[in-house]
Amino acid sequence: MPERDRNEPYSDLAFYQSLGLKSGLEVHRQLDTERKLFCNCPAVRSYSDHYDAELLRHMRPTLSELGEYDPTALMEFKTKKEIVYRLGRDTVCTYEMDDAPPFGLNRDALERALLVGMMLNLSLVDEIHISRKQYLDGSIPTGFQRTCIVGINGYLVCRGRRIGVRQLGLEEDACREVADRGHVRTYMTDRLSIPLIEVVTEADMRTPAEVGWVASVIQRLCHLSGVVRTGLGKVRQDVNVSISGGARVEIKGVPRIRQIPALVHFEALRQRALLEVRDLCRSRGLSPDAFKEEMDVSDMARRYPHPLFTAIGRGGRARAIVLRNSTGVLAYPTGPRRTFGHELADRVRVIACIDTVPNMVHSDDPDAFALAGLFDAVRRQVGAGAGDTVVITAGPERDCLTAMSEVRLRMVEALQGVPRETRKALPGGATCFERLLPGPDRMYPDTDLPPVVLSREMLDRVRGRVPQPLWEKEAAYAKAGLSAQQIERLMTTDMFGLFDEALPRVRLRPAILAYLLLDWLLALRRAGVDTRAVDADLLARLFGGEEAATMRQRDAAAALAMVLGHVPGWAAGGGNDAS
């Protein structure tokens, strides 16, 4: 089905091939079950900020089965976060708090996941084996997420191209983060352990626009399945991006598909810029030894009326690091309103937990001209020159020491090119650092639950509920005369069920029926009209006669409104809308 043109600005295949762009998706969708994945608590459909108790925990990394630490777990441990969980007595139990083992895999959730797997043409596994995926950001109180693979090696069709689907996972959702200030991160636990599926595609997408198109196909396919929840907060997309010479970077938790093309585009350009920064540093002969000079500059900094240095008056300290022969590196542009200096500031914010704005200053920043005297004083203290960059941060002494260590590490990474990271989407298409990209050491077997054998009876039962393939259904809609926009909206607003039920029972043109369901009912609701009575039976009574075959769109809209007890403006001799 042809897509709308909203993604077209990012569809220049030749340009993105010159970058060597590769991109894939990990789409998480909550399943529409009554209870959670491993316990009998209700899987709530709406979230609340009400809670009955709080629980405080600290997370610590553990060795993998091979005796190694996951780098992401070590990074989270360096933040020294206190994790506060807000508990509701009606939504969590001892399982979520790791005070009881899991109570068994939710079979309803498993069957729903299998149905989606069949729609994605996956090779389903014979047995479900539960694994643990380590999470030390606090989003799961146990420190790990229970997850399992349902199927592998499938595909979907997007604009005539076959896109590989690497695997489909069934896993439990994480807590909702409600605050993250300093060394305290707070979560609500009502979303915790709700079943969700994870659709992982191959890195087959060649342009940012195509990533958006594929995300839309997955969205429509999941809606067609009838087994997932819809609405904001029920779906999240992780986007993987790399270019030639770069590294895989994951943009985490993108809530809206329309954001994806710009995010992929600017991440590709950011990686190109980081490779240029690497080449610039190498051309100057920089090595890790150029980033070693660090000192306390509290006495010098307190004389400058800068917002960052107010921390000194509250008992904090200011520390500086000198980056030899690095002038201009931190000012190198990496994205919309972003420079390489933001790469350092992000690490300071996330790992050192210095989250003031700004959380550091540097001599490459033209807005820091008022601190030129301070930068010169630091240079004189270590015998540095104008070609050397000075970076200063302020806050609790322990955090400042961590901050300087992270600045040094990030500069060393700059000599190598693009670090493997998980990043967070920002408005306008830019991203910021969230954490290091997890490695395979975070996964290990779960020993609390036995494997679940997929019986032939279960598979046959699920197979009998698999709907018509999405691309065939949308092709049939197009043949019936629906526009591309109407088709997409039908499949993403869950109106296709009512449309399919009503279409063979009415004589209206299909495009007019789609208009009534997608546009006119919305206009009536906005005018205060109760539209809950609209179903296939009402539509059949109203538009099942021969006269409906030649009815104009406006006449059909007026007839539907009047049946609901409302006279639209034009029918009463007034305006053109539903009022």
Domain locations in the chain as residue ranges = 5-279+439-445, 287-414, 470-563
Predicted pLDDT of residue 326: 98
Rounded distance, CA 523 to CA 519, Å? 6
Residue 495 token pair: 């109106």
Asked whether 92 and 189 are in contact (CB, 8 A), the reply is: yes
Half-sphere exposure of 518 (CA within 13 A, CB side): 21
Task: Pull the structure tokens for residue 484.
Answer: 């591309």
DSSP secondary structure letter of residue 29: E
Q: Are 239 and 422 in contact (CB under 8 A)?
A: no
Most distant CA pair in the chain, distance: 93
Task: Specify the pLDDT at position 7.
Answer: 47
Tens of pLDDT, residue by residue, the chain (579 residues): 444 445 478 999 999 999 999 999 999 999 999 999 999 999 999 999 999 999 999 888 877 666 777 788 888 888 999 999 999 999 999 999 989 999 999 999 999 999 999 999 999 999 999 999 988 889 999 999 999 999 999 999 999 999 999 999 999 999 999 999 999 999 999 999 999 999 999 999 999 999 999 999 999 999 999 999 988 889 999 999 999 999 999 999 998 999 999 999 999 999 999 999 999 999 999 999 999 999 999 999 999 999 999 999 999 999 999 999 999 999 999 999 999 999 999 999 999 999 999 999 999 999 999 999 999 999 999 999 999 999 999 999 999 999 999 999 999 999 999 999 999 999 889 999 999 988 776 788 899 999 999 999 999 999 999 999 998 999 999 999 999 999 999 998 879 999 999 999 999 999 999 999 999 999 999 999 999 999 999 999 999 999 999 999 999 999 999 999 888 766 554 455 565
Distances (CA, A) of 323 to 178, 277, 303, 332, 392: 37, 14, 23, 15, 11
What secondary structure letter does DSSP report for 481? T
> Exposed, middle or buried by CB within 10 Å (0-12, 13-18, 19+), for 71?
middle
Residue 63 to residue 45: CA distance in whole angstroms: 36
Angle 470-479/208-225 helices, nearest 10 degrees? 90
Q: What is the pTM of this model?
A: 0.91
Asked if 488 and 1 touch (Cβ cutoff 8 Å), the reply is yes
Phi, psi of 391, deg, nearest 5: -120, 130
CATH of domain 287-414: 3.30.1360.30
The 317-323 sheet, strands edge to edge: 293-296, 317-323, 389-395, 361-362
The four Cα atoms 544, 549, 555, 561 give a dihedral, to 10 degrees, of 20
Cα 458-463-467 angle, rounded to 5 deg:
145
For residues 232 and 34, the answer to whether their CB atoms sit within 8 Å is no
Q: What is the CA radius of gyration of the chain?
A: 28
Q: Report the C-alpha gap between 376 and 371 in whole angstroms.
A: 9
